[in-house]
Amino acid sequence: MPAVMGRSVADEMTALLTEQLRHANNLLQAKLKTLEARLAHQQAMNGQRLVILEEQIRDHEKRIRITTEGVTQFKLFSGLASGGSGLMSLVAIFKTFLGG
């Protein structure tokens, strides 16, 4: 094999192939780092979304509890008010019949 400036063709082919493989390896490493960064970013975004959703769930549960308590209190007072007026009517009837 003839030598080109002190190197053989096989040596130059080997050096070229080695350089191409290094370049391909560098490209793959860069792509891998990019994918890892995207994954970390997506995981952070998912974590934030989860925190927001959990807070919304707690807020809705709190509102439901407050509303339920309000309805229960309204029913209680409404029942007492209607029961109280019914009781007063019954007392008035007894009073009338007893002549008082």
Q: Say what the pLDDT of residue 74 is.
A: 83
Q: Say what the pLDDT of residue 16 is.
A: 95
What pairs with residue 3 in β-bridges? Answer: 8
Which residues fall within 8 angstroms of residue 12, CB to CB, at 6 or more apart? 4
Q: Say what the pLDDT of residue 83 is.
A: 67
Q: Say what the pLDDT of residue 1 is.
A: 45
The pair of structure tokens assigned to 68 is 């339920």
- pLDDT tens for the chain, 100 residues long, are 454 455 799 999 999 999 999 999 999 999 999 999 999 999 999 999 999 999 999 999 999 999 998 888 888 777 777 766 777 777 788 778 887 5
Q: How many CB atoms lie within 10 A of CB 11?
A: 13
Domain count, the chain: 1
Domain range for 22 is: 3-97
The pair of structure tokens assigned to 93 is 């009837």
